[in-house]
Chains A and B, each alone.
Chain A
Amino acid sequence: MGRPATAGYARLSKPMPAIEVTDLSKTYKVPVRESGLRNSVRSLFKREFREVLAVDQVSFEVPEGQLIGFLGPNGAGKSTTLKMLSGLLYPTSGQARVLGHDPRLREEDYRRRIALVMGNRNSLQWDLPVMDSFELQRAIYQVPKVDFQRRRDEFIELLDVADLVTKPIRNLSLGERMKVEVIASLLHAPEVLFLDEPTLGLDVTMQKRLRGFIANYQKESGASIILTSHYMADVEALCDRIIVIHEGAILYDGDIGGLRSKFVSHRLISFGGNEVSEEMVQLSDSVEGSPERTILKVPNDNVADVASLLLRRGVYDLSIENVPLEDIIDMAFTADES
């Protein structure tokens, strides 16, 4: 795959962050009008607007070569942040530097070094075979022919799309289209990649394939990647670090283990059967389950005691699990709202 030259991006003893964001904010001005004829007539003479704070003084850094997950519910400000970093949206205030460039300036050299992939969106030539779109990408990014052919063939093989590239985009399924979209966005070997819900609407197999491909690209190229996704499997499989954003502000920035210890103080112990002793009930926060299987929600400090009690009783099909990431994120949002 080969890492592209990073001209003007000197390697220092302490590596310069690929992305630096300081107090970045975005406010949208949206028209407001009550329903009904009277309000409709009134709005002809006096238009009213409301300001919506989509991103609120967000600050973070992404070191070179890191893959971070940007998590949050719909409307949290994830995509807006990504679009500001890619130069698509102009921030209301704050600073951002990506690969030493100010994204607001939308310099050609900057756009040549990055890529933004938006899930469920088509950026290729709808009526033409995929290969024609790839050729256009080559011209747009001025990729040398040899590099282009090498990357294109490698990506086609990795994502197993050899039989798709001669078909027009309009004849591809959503998953197939996303695969070729991702390939097209990587043909110029971007040093920073913004992935906005790249697996949106894809089936589990396709998600896994795309995930593997992204991980491979990151490993081979050393690119810095910010990924937003509603699928926690994407985040758990790919990300070294996560940033949780809620109502435009950062709730958490760190690794997944840290998120667990910050918001979750228990684990789930499940075992076959439904016999629970009084001691186990006292050591657990809650007991749920069916006649076939019981699930105990146990504080981290009591996990060893409960497990040993179960083993002493001869229960061997027990499992100790972390709370799913989805639930942790939900807890984080709930904690923030309360």
Chain B
Amino acid sequence: MNYIAIKMLMGDKGKYIGIIMGLTFASLIMTQQPATFVGLMSRSYSFISDLGLPDIWVMDAKVQFVDDIKPLQDTELYRVRGISGVEWAMPLYKGLIKARLTDGTFQTCNVIGLDDATLIGGPPTMLEGKLEDLRRSDSVIVDIDGATEKLGKPSPIAGEKTIPLKVGDNLELNDRRAIVVGIAKSTRTFQSQPVVYTTYSRAKNYAPKERKLLSFILLKAKPGQDLHELTLRIKQNTGLAAYTQDEFKELTYQYFMHNTGIPINFGISIALGFIVGAAIAGQTFYNFTLDNIRQFGVLKAMGTSNLTLLRMILLQAILVGSIGYGLGVGLTALFGYATRHTILAFKFPWQLLVFSGAGVSIICIFAALISIFKVFRLEPAIVFKG
């Protein structure tokens, strides 16, 4: 019987491919769109996840997300350091500073100032040079994306690609000299500005004159210390806000969820993908059943039970569903692979496989259901009509 079902399905090549295309399309949209969305949202807190060493981030109580800098007084660092349960606490400067390139254009950069002695908070991977090179005078480390794109020198030949910034090149940050001593790889941020790493005291020199310049205090808890308890203690004793790495990610993520149109836009396109996919696949599957209604009628007339027919239709649905799903997620992965070095956001966690799998299953069940009702209500006599 199963063989007959499969033969029935694959017999009409046009319909067969039609159903699978519909499901592939639905599965592709339901995977690729959320992947782009997740990728984009993870960029909002990529700066936090890139900084794996500290356990807790301390900042002004009114900070809403990672790019919302409300600087502190320098002495707050020592107050935080003086709280029991703190292994170490280090300053971090984060701010937007205008860089003047050799050709005279301006580019806003995300300047990160690391503690002078320990250089805690550095980029995750160094491609060229060492992090210690920041000890040299006027030195900065630039991220590879910024170096090749926005901070690159325009090519002498018009229309050619820009010449990437290299180790030894110099920049001008707020009228001050900066020498590139290293190239780093860091995860792209939401605004995709070039990231420039330097020491804390040098960053203060680059920064525009402000009374307070300390953006964040990075903190490591003593071994065995409960992080949540420590954040409460910091809040209570200093009046500053303290978040664990995950809490701060969540705060940033929630800010983007509530204050930008991104989730709604992506939600709409995912829903549209689902509806269109369901409509195409459902309708084609139903049409296919209608076309084969004679065969079902014959089977019914031959005395095949409804249960067997149900099993046949379900088998057909599962088969096209699986093929469509496999092709869809495969195409998504291919898309991700093709765009891995571009500016496009793409992140493919395992939850998305489950999500689109569930979506495709719902479409298949819906398509199978309407076909099953048709077959169940079928009079075997139809074969002999017409």
B is a partner of A: no
On A, residues with C-beta under 8 Å from B are none
- B residues apposed to A, CB below 8 Å: none
